[in-house]
Amino acid sequence: MTETISYVGLPKFEIEVPNSLEEALNLLHIHQTNCKPLAGGTDLLVDLRHRLIQPNVIIDVKNIPELKKLEFTPNELTIGAAVPISEVLTLSQIKTYYTALYQALNDMCDEILRNRATIGGNIATASPAADTAGPLYTHQAVVEVQSKSKGSRLIAIDKFFKGVKKSDLAPDELIVSINMPKPTINTKSAFMKMKRGAEDLALVGAAGSHNQEHTYLGFTAVAPTPVFLDISNLIIEKKISENVFQSIWKEIDSKISPITDVRSSRDYRIHITEILTRLILKEIIL
């Protein structure tokens, strides 16, 4: 009968606040599935209150230096997994070089939640509607994860999501950072999100990027996992026409399988996917 109870507070758990990556990985190693990392808590606390998860130990990762790193070098951008979105947005290069990500972050959750919510938490939750997923793909992000058992490994973002709320992360693995190569000059990218009001989870999210060599598209909330497409071979002569669009749409249409839920019907999601794709292609290519 528990589904008829609306809990006031959180279930009981121990809280650990490690100050080093090593300490954190040790804790994860000991507690495995009985623990959960805590970044901003904007997903975790909701799940805890509704008893969707009941870990014995919560590991606050906000004091780990590696996870707090925010750095733009001539080659790449590194965003520590626990850097709050509002802080990421202070880095001016985000807007210049990673427009799609900037547009997603600048509109994510709401102004207050952005002071807490992190990109690490967003992808670790692996929601089909994770706003950062599309832009991270179009910027060819690589996720650095670490664990005591397997050490450090890099996961390309298009290998990260495995199902609804399922990712490639092992229970003892921690996301350390998200890394994106510096784009070549003339790369253009964009993100668009359809929602029911000024602040809402996505009905559909769409991101795209384009340069001389590559054109990438990423979609959220249209399938159990974010949908990523490399359409570089379909973009001929750097132009977009109705014919070219139709061939792109055929690919997209075969990969998406939206559902009907409280936010939207399946049909509307398909329609919006098409419209956002058109608008984004126009923005990044024409």
Tell me which residues touch ligand FAD (CB under 6 A).
Answer: 36-44, 46, 61, 67, 81-82, 108-109, 113, 116-118, 120-122, 124-125, 129-131, 169, 174-175, 201
Question: Least distance to ligand FAD from the beta carbon of 184, Å?
Answer: 28
Q: Return the number of the residue (33 or 241) whose C-beta is nearest other proteins.
A: 241
Q: Return the number of the residue (217 or 248) whose C-beta is nearest ligand FAD.
A: 217
Question: Least distance to other proteins from the beta carbon of 244, Å?
Answer: 9
| Helices 266-285, 242-255: crossing angle, 10 deg rounding | 140
Rg (C-alpha) for the chain, rounded Å, is 19
Binding residues for other proteins, rule: CB under 8 A, are 1-9, 110, 194, 196-201, 203, 240-242, 245, 261-265, 267-268, 271-272, 274-275, 278-279, 282, 286
- Give the span between the Cα atoms of 5 and 64, in whole angstroms: 36
Q: Which does 81 bind (CB under 5 to 8 A by kind): ligand FAD, other proteins, none?
A: ligand FAD
> Tokens 């969707």, residue?
52
- Give the span between the Cα atoms of 164 and 80, in whole angstroms: 24
Question: Least distance to other proteins from the beta carbon of 2, Å?
Answer: 6
Q: Return the number of the residue (23 or 249) whose C-beta is nearest other proteins.
A: 249
Length, in residues, of the chain:
286
Q: Return the number of the residue (168 or 249) whose C-beta is nearest other proteins.
A: 249
Reading the block at residue 23, the tokens are 């300490």
Q: Which does 117 bind (CB under 5 to 8 A by kind): other proteins, ligand FAD, none?
A: ligand FAD
- Give the span between the Cα atoms of 204 and 31, in whole angstroms: 36
Q: Which residues of 116-155 are buried (b: 16+ CB within 10 A; e: fewer)?
A: bbbbbbbbbbbbbbbbbbbbbbbbbbbbbbbbbeeeeeeb
Q: Which does 8 bind (CB under 5 to 8 A by kind): other proteins, ligand FAD, none?
A: other proteins
Question: Least distance to other proteins from the beta carbon of 194, Å?
Answer: 6
Q: Return the number of the residue (41 or 283) whose C-beta is nearest ligand FAD.
A: 41
Contact partners, residue 216, CB within 8 Å, separation at least 6: 137, 138, 140, 208, 209, 210, 228, 229, 230, 231, 232
Question: Least distance to ligand FAD from the beta carbon of 238, Å?
Answer: 32
Three-state DSSP class for residue 190: strand
- Give the span between the Cα atoms of 12 and 24, in whole angstroms: 20
Question: Least distance to ligand FAD from the beta carbon of 2, Å?
Answer: 21
State the DSSP code for 150: T
